[in-house]
């Protein structure tokens, strides 16, 4: 019994393959005429067979790589490697050159037919990922010709996600078709509503505007409102993500400033240039390392940028700031002068143009997570900001150097009376703050133009963060960066980038009326210095 | 009063003689003396010196707040630019039908942006008197509003400096926008007439120079009158020991506010005289770098001297004109170096050097100001 069944199945399968092979032969034969009409017929027939090598043949046809010998009635296609392959048997031909064949002519009408056919074939591809993206392509193109294939594939699709994509593609096609029964179109609207993204919204907008069927129209209007609400939330979430990403950049740039300002009470106007030096260090590291080490260039650049900026920072402290102790306004002016010199020096060395810094592979690309866009590079910067913040907290809380530094921040004279060498602490604090700025520069080189003016854009923003957060402790800086970064990105889509920035500046000016020393102010006598 | 109001020292007298003399002499040298004579002033020199005079007024205004009241404003360029914009708006409306689009009411950029009516902010600017009022009112009101908030909440030191910088930065961003209504990125330019005279003509340029020089002299007189008055003594005391002055019973914020507003109005007038002479005003005048550059003029000349500020403005700008022509690469090095060297080695500026030479002959006791500062630090 089993045997009989086996034989029956075997015969059936053989017949089926044979029948299919015949169909492929018939379809291929149409290409031999080399006339546009019969070629178009051949394309449709070949696609209908669903043969495994059909996509390759159709691709070749579209690229003028399908060749025929009308006399010997042989059809071959040339692979991109230059090999000639018999379309019927799939064997590689040897000993014949491509010039002994004739090309099958194609025109633009044929090309689009080929594209649609390949799309339909990919819908049947064994790879679910390919099926899903093919369905997505159909959703975008709304090609009514794909409807038959879609229906056929949908009935045998086993992967629920791919099936959903196909249902959406199907809905996109039929929802605007006046010949489809109204109930089906209402169903299509609810499928689109479930999809709920920008594309679905624009499609439903169109339905709501065009459709004269009252049932479809009401469904479309309801779906429109639902999607809009969903998109608003999605938008807010997306802007929050952008905001956190901007906040991490701000935090990196400002945290070094918070340290130097906290300890010494002076604004280092050249702080932005420390960031810029970090970015240029990344550039130099990438040009110095062989290309094969590109993936590791940032790992090399991070400590190096810290070192370069820290050394320059110490030089500034020892040569300039030390002599202006107790004169914060003069320090501000002198460090501004230093920043001009550093900018011009970099301009003379590297030129005024932007320098190209390459992102390693693991930092490029982006995720799409439930409709939210997350860029990998930004994610790494957020991670770096968290690491830097945690490391600095640790350094300030758990080391004796940190203890001394906090003591000097709180009350310099008392700290000096307790035997702390405030001059040395100043120097180290400056090295630390500048070094962290250099690390920020490595991160910024990935998202901003590496030019001599890189740092200037950050000094005001950084100081705003410090003003908002106060110099009491680093949590204030974190909070300040978060508030500014997120508020900026939330305001941006509503009132525009420039107006948003102005509004925030006005907010800060009003804020320091209320809390002149920031959110986390130091308490005690040190405040009224 | 027994003592003369100004109590001019020799430096002040020399300053007034030079500025008023220049105002009287320049038109003669530029217009009457034949062109090929060695004493003739070519038109570009008139324009250049006129620019320096305006910078001098700006520096003097800055010195009034920084040198005498201890408020380091990094946003005085904003007041300068606001005055400039007020004048620019008057000049724009004087163009009338001579513009590219020949619209009798709307300036070209508004026609270009397809606006139908004149924005409210532009009303009245066809009248010179109104424009002149706005030249003083716009910076004055802004300074009053800003100072009222800032000084009342006792924002001082570097906090105040950075906030003023943020102020000018915010204005720069705002003026860059087309829909803000002041010409956007391109600003205001292509001026034709000022009170009926062609802005390009040699006569007008000479007259503008003389006016600028006279305005500089007048600014000095006003500034001097303030700082030598009883009021001025309180202002100087605030600079040296703010808390102490407050504890004695003075309303520190009122004193600061007055000086700040006067200084802002002066800066606005400087901007208004500057614009017809350079022929353009655009948002880059609001750049924070410009404001901080003005601070270095004051520092180079010597702060707290008024004369020194104007001297510094002219000296540094002369150097800038020379350097950017001869070695453009090195100007930023020179400027940066100037910031560092002056703050480190020349805290009293060029005027300090002059006084040093005079003091070498007869030693004087240390100034009370520095004594007060030391005590304040010890508190």
Tell me the pLDDT tens digit for each residue of B41-72: 888 889 999 999 999 999 999 999 999 999 99
**Which pLDDT score is estimated for A71?**
79
Axis-axis angle for helices A422-444, A297-319 (nearest 10): 140
Residue A13, classified by CB atoms within 10 Å of its CB into exposed (0-12), middle (13-18) or buried (19+), is exposed
pLDDT higher than 50, residue B368: no
CB contact under 8 A, B161 and A267: yes
- Residue pair A238/A374 in contact (Cβ under 8 Å)? The answer is no
Secondary structure class of A375 (helix, strand, coil): strand
Point out which residues pair with B337 in neighbouring strands.
Answer: none
User: A with B: how many residue pairs have Cβ under 8 Å apart?
Assistant: 118
- Burial of residue A402, with CB atoms counted within 10 A of its CB: 0-12 exposed, 13-18 middle, 19 or more buried: middle
What does the alpha-carbon distance between residue A191 and residue A164 come to, in Å, rounded to a whole number?
9
Of B72, B165, B177, nearest to A498 by CB-CB distance is: B177
B351-363: per-residue pLDDT in tens?
888 887 777 665 5
- Do the chains contact at A512 and B176, CB–CB below 8 Å? no
- Closest residue by Cα to residue A465 from A279, A274, A276, A252: A252
List phi, psi (to 5°) of A70: -65, -25
Q: Is the pLDDT of residue B22 over 50?
A: yes
pLDDT (0 to 100) of residue A62: 80
DSSP state of B32: I
**pLDDT for res A525:** 53
Note the ipTM here: 0.86
Within A445-473, residue ranges assigned H as helices are: 456-469
* Average pLDDT over every residue of B290-315: 93
Is B275 in contact with B183 (CB distance < 8 Å)? Answer: no
Paired tokens of B2: 């027994």
C-alpha closest to that of B271 among B370, B146, B134 = B134
**pLDDT at residue A308 in the model:** 96
User: What's A354's DSSP letter?
Assistant: P
Strand order in the sheet with A102-103: A92-93, A84-86, A74-78, A66-69, A102-103
Locate all alpha helices (DSSP H) within B249-366, ordered by sequence: 252-278, 288-301, 307-326, 331-345, 349-361
Report CB contact under 8 Å: B340, A338: yes
- φ/ψ (deg, to 5) at A93: -90, 140
Quote the CA–CA distance of B138 and B144 in Å, as a whole number.
10
Cα separation, A251 vs A389, whole angstroms: 8
Place of tokens 């075997």: A10
Nearest partner of A434 among A355, A286, A318, A288, judged by Cα: A318
d(C-alpha B379, C-alpha B368), whole Å: 17
- The values of phi and psi at residue B197, to 5°, are -105, 145
Residue from B145, B177, B333, B336 to probe the interface with A (highest A Cβ count within 10 Å): B336
pLDDT digits 0-9 by tens, B142-172: 999 999 988 887 888 888 888 898 889 889 9
Report the distance separating Cα B105 and Cα A16, nearest Å: 84
What is the structure's pLDDT at B361? 61
Q: Tell me what pLDDT residue A529 has.
A: 42
Phi-psi region of B306 (alpha: psi -120 to 50; beta: other; left: phi over 0): left
Tokens coding A216: 């479809």
Nearest Cα of chain A lies from the Cα of B166 at a distance, in angstroms, of 7
Extract the residue ranges of chain A whose pLDDT is less than 50: 15, 526-529
* Residue bearing the bigger pLDDT, A154 or B333: B333
Interface test with A, best of B159, B168, B341 (most A CBs within 10 A): B159
B167 contacts in A (CB within 8 Å)? 505, 509
Pairing of strands A366-369, A74-78: unpaired
**CA–CA gap between residue B242 and residue B69 (Å, rounded):** 10
């Amino acid at each position: 019994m089993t045997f009989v069944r086996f034989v029956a199945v075997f015969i059936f399968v053989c017949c089926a393959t044979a029948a299919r092979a015949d169909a492929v032969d018939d379809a291929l034969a149409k290409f031999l005429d080399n006339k546009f009409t019969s070629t178009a017929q051949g394309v449709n027939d070949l696609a209908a067979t669903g043969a495994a090598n059909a996509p390759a043949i159709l691709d070749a046809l579209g690229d003028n790589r399908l060749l025929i010998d009308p006399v010997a009635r042989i059809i071959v296609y040339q692979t991109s490697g230059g090999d000639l392959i018999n379309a019927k048997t799939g064997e590689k031909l040897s000993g014949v050159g491509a010039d002994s064949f004739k090309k099958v002519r194609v025109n633009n009408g044929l090309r689009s037919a080929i594209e649609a056919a390949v799309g339909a074939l990919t819908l049947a591809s064994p790879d679910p990922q390919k099926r899903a993206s093919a369905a997505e392509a159909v959703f975008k193109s709304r090609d009514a010709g794909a409807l038959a294939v879609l229906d056929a594939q949908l009935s045998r699709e086993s992967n629920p996600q791919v099936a959903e994509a196909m249902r959406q593609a199907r809905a996109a096609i039929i929802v605007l078709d006046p010949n489809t029964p109204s109930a089906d179109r209402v169903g299509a609207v609810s499928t689109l509503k479930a999809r709920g993204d920008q594309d679905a919204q624009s499609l439903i907008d169109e339905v709501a505007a065009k459709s004269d069927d009252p049932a479809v129209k009401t469904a479309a209007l309801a779906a429109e409102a639902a999607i809009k609400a969903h998109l608003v939330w999605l938008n807010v979430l997306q802007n929050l993500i952008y905001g956190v990403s901007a906040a991490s950049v701000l935090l990196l740039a400002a945290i070094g400033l918070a340290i130097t300002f906290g300890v010494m009470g002076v604004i280092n106007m050249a702080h932005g240039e420390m960031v810029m030096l970090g970015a240029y260090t990344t550039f130099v590291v990438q040009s110095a390392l062989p290309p094969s080490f590109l993936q590791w260039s940032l790992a090399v650049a991070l400590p190096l940028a810290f070192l370069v900026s820290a050394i320059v920072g110490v030089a500034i402290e020892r040569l300039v700031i030390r002599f202006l102790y107790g004169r914060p306004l003069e320090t501000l002016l002198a460090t501004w002068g230093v920043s001009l010199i550093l900018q011009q020096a970099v301009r003379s060395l590297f030129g005024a143009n932007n320098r190209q810094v390459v992102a390693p592979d693991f930092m490029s690309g982006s995720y799409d997570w439930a409709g939210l866009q997350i860029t990998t590079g930004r994610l790494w910067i957020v991670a770096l900001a968290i690491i830097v913040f945690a490391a600095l907290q640790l350094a300030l809380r758990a080391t004796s150097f940190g203890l001394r530094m906090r003591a000097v921040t709180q009350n310099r004279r008392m700290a000096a009376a307790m035997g702390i060498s405030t001059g040395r602490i100043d120097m180290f604090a400056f090295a630390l703050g500048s070094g962290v700025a250099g690390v920020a520069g490595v991160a910024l080189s990935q998202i901003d133009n590496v030019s001599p003016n890189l740092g200037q854009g950050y000094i005001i923003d950084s100081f705003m963060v410090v003003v908002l957060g106060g110099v009491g402790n680093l949590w204030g800086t974190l909070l300040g960066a978060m508030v500014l970064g997120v508020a900026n990105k939330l305001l941006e889509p509503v009132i525009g980038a420039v107006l948003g920035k102005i509004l925030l500046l006005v907010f800060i000016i009003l804020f320091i009326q209320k809390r002149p020393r920031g959110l986390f102010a130091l308490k005690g006598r040190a405040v009224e210095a | 009063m027994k003592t003369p109001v100004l109590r001019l020292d020799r430096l002040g007298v020399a300053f007034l003689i030079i500025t008023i003399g220049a105002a009287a002499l320049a038109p003669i040298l530029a217009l009457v003396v034949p062109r090929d004579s060695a004493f003739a002033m070519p038109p570009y020199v008139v324009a250049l010196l006129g620019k320096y005079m305006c910078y001098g007024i700006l520096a003097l205004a800055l010195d009034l707040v920084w040198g005498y009241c201890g408020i380091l404003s990094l946003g005085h360029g904003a007041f300068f630019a606001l005055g400039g914009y007020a004048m620019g708006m008057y000049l724009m409306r004087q163009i009338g039908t001579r513009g590219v689009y020949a619209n009798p009411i709307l300036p070209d950029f508004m026609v270009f942006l397809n606006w139908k009516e004149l924005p409210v902010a532009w009303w009245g600017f066809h009248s010179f008197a109104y424009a002149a009022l706005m030249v003083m009112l716009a910076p004055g009101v802004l300074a009053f509003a800003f100072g009222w908030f800032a000084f009342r909440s006792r924002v001082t030191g570097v906090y105040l400096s950075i906030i003023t910088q943020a102020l000018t930065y915010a204005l720069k961003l705002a003026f860059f926008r087309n829909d803000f209504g002041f010409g956007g990125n391109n600003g205001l330019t292509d001026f034709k007439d000022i009170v009926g005279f062609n802005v390009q003509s040699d006569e007008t340029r000479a007259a503008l120079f003389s006016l600028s020089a006279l305005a500089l002299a007048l600014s000095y007189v006003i500034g001097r009158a303030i700082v030598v008055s009883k009021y001025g003594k309180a202002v100087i005391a605030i600079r040296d020991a703010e808390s102490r002055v407050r504890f004695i019973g003075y309303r520190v914020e009122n004193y600061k506010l007055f000086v700040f507003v006067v200084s802002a109005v002066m800066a606005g007038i400087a901007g208004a005289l500057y614009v017809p002479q350079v022929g353009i005003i655009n948002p880059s005048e609001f750049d924070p770098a410009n404001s901080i550059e003005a601070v270095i003029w004051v520092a180079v000349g010597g702060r707290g001297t008024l004369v020194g500020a104007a001297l510094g403005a002219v000296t540094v700008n002369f150097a800038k004109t020379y350097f950017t022509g001869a070695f453009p690469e090195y100007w930023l090095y020179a400027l940066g170096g100037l910031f560092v060297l002056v703050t480190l080695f020349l805290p009293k500026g060029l005027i300090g050097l002059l006084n040093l030479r005079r003091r070498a002959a007869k030693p004087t006791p240390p100034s009370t100001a520095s004594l007060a500062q030391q005590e304040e630090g010890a508190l």
